Structure 1
Amino acid sequence: MADAPERGLMLRHGGLIAREAEGAALERAMALRARCFEGEGGALREADGHDASCRHLIVEDREERALCTLRWRAFDPGEVTRAASHDAYDLAALSRWPGRLLEIGRFCTASEARDGAALRMALAALTRIVVAERTTLLFGSASFAGIDPAPHGPALAWLGAHHLAPPAWRPRRRVPDAVPLAGPIHDPRAARAGLPPLLRSYLGMGGVVSDHAVIDAGMNTLHVLCMVDVAKIPPGRVRVLRALAFGP
């Protein structure tokens, strides 16, 4: 049975709908996520046991075709070690963060929706979530395809040279399968081009990263933990995001 059109509705624009995924919509979100991670050779659906504790966003078209999805969960600082990211990164330093935190995970976009419209809708809906949850810090892992660090060496080195989180709240290593963000950068333009699109979006909002990448064999990805201090998002980007989320 199809969902009621307005159930969980967050945004509607240009033939796309962003909503909190429940019931049949959640099934569609999970199916999209499975398809995306299968495409990368990774594990399916519920890989870490955290889905039931999270809320889920889906962006769809009028025919209820799932185009983009993510999950989120809000924390007070003392709760942050319950986050999914703590399975791979030691988040103890974030327990001293002065405000609410929002973890974003399993963010993926259908291959047929790479024109950017679905991603912009997801970011607009996420902006609404940030406001509703009184969020001051966003965090979550950003993935590179495959578990071999070598092809991503220049991009990882670029992150280490230009985008490390401050030591006071930088995540520490928690798992042995990790590699440092270090190495030569012979071609800065090529290094930046090797960054995944979602990570580039976060960096454009002032995002910073852990000092190491984690090798996740189960999901067939290499990922870094990315954090965005909401207060440091550039004013121009804030205006764009708020216009997408709430209108001009």
Structure 2
Amino acid sequence: MQPITKGLYRARLAETPADIQAAQRLRWTCFMAREGQADDGVSLDRDALDDDCSHMLIEQVASGRLVCCFRFLPLTDGSQIARSYSAQFYDLAALGRFDGPMVEMGRFCIHPDIHDPHIVRLAWAALTRFVDLTGVEMLFGCSSFVGCEPEPHAEAFAMLKERHLAPRRWWPRVKSPKVFRFARALRLRKPDPRQAMAAMPPLLRSYLAMGGWVSDHAVVDPALRTMHVFTGVEIRAIPPARKRLLHAMLDQPV
């Protein structure tokens, strides 16, 4: 896959061990260095799946500074779902019947000092190119909310319960010992759509705009100090207007 350059940023796949280490370094900064924890400048966030994944890097063109990264784990079909990161936290037996190529998108992060919506747009352009080249039929992963308490995210969870729960044929079931069953706990709560979408993590908003769906519960992850929901998108179900928008991002001039 060739690099994609748009404006101030370039998206490319990692090519060297140093590239992957830079992604792991950014991941540690985003996921672990919170709540005043000192940044020692060398710590990495890494796990056994890194060796099986392709790693996407988004850099500033002028400086080469890494500002965003995420990884892909390709699966031939649902029979390999147990290899995924998500399968550690969710019972994904239903998705074991999915009969097309899948890819798990994970560890998505943007440097906390950078606030530019063009980065997320370029990330989706790169993901669109990857899907086109590989024939992927389903994207999935874990979408994270910062913090381990549900109340700050109640409006967003209520919106997910109201409009975006997974189809029964792919229903992710509870596996993790510590979860917040928001579909049950908030069954009577009617969300305010404006507040709910404002509280939704940017990556999850993008998934939902593509017709994505989520689990009926959030997993509490004390290690990363997040709550996350399983998220899936069937490529064939993406609305045509959204598909045109995604491909338009690839066609826009540099």
| TM-score normalised by structure 1 residue count | 0.90
Match 2:220 to one of 215, 221, 240 = 215
Residue identity in the other structure for 1:110: H
Bigger drift between 165-174 and 238-247 goes to 238-247
Match 1:204 to one of 202, 209, 232 = 209
Name the structure 2 match of 1:167: 168
Instruction: Spell out structure 1 runs of 4+ moving beyond 6 A.
Output: none
Mapped contact 1:173–1:212 kept (Cα < 8 A):
yes
Name the structure 1 match of 2:40: none
CA distance in 1 between counterparts of 2:232 and 2:69 reads 19
Deviation digits for residues 11-65 of structure 1 (CA, Å, limit 9, x no counterpart): 12223211111323222222211111134459x7435432121110000012110
Mapped contact 2:31–2:224 kept (Cα < 8 A):
yes
Matches within 5 A, 1:133-152: 133-152=134-153
Mapped contact 2:92–2:173 kept (Cα < 8 A):
yes
Mapped contact 1:74–1:133 kept (Cα < 8 A):
no
Name the structure 2 match of 1:64: 64
SS at match of 2:137: strand
Mapped contact 1:205–1:228 kept (Cα < 8 A):
yes
Structure 2: which 5+ runs fail to align?
Answer: 38-42
Structure 1: which 5+ runs fail to align?
Answer: 1-7
Match 1:228 to one of 221, 226, 233 = 233
Identity of aligned residues (%): 42
Indicate whether 1:21 and 2:9 are aligned: no
Aligned pair count reads 240
Mapped contact 1:77–1:94 kept (Cα < 8 A):
yes
Indicate whether 1:242 and 2:247 are aligned: yes
Instruction: Give the C-alpha shift of residue 154 in structure 1.
Output: 2.2
Name the structure 2 match of 1:4: none
Mapped contact 2:159–2:191 kept (Cα < 8 A):
no
CA distance in 1 between counterparts of 2:121 and 2:211 reads 17
Instruction: Give the C-alpha shift of residue 129 in structure 1.
Output: 0.9
What RMSD over aligned residues (CA atoms) do the two structures have, in Å? 1.9
| TM-score normalised by structure 2 residue count | 0.88
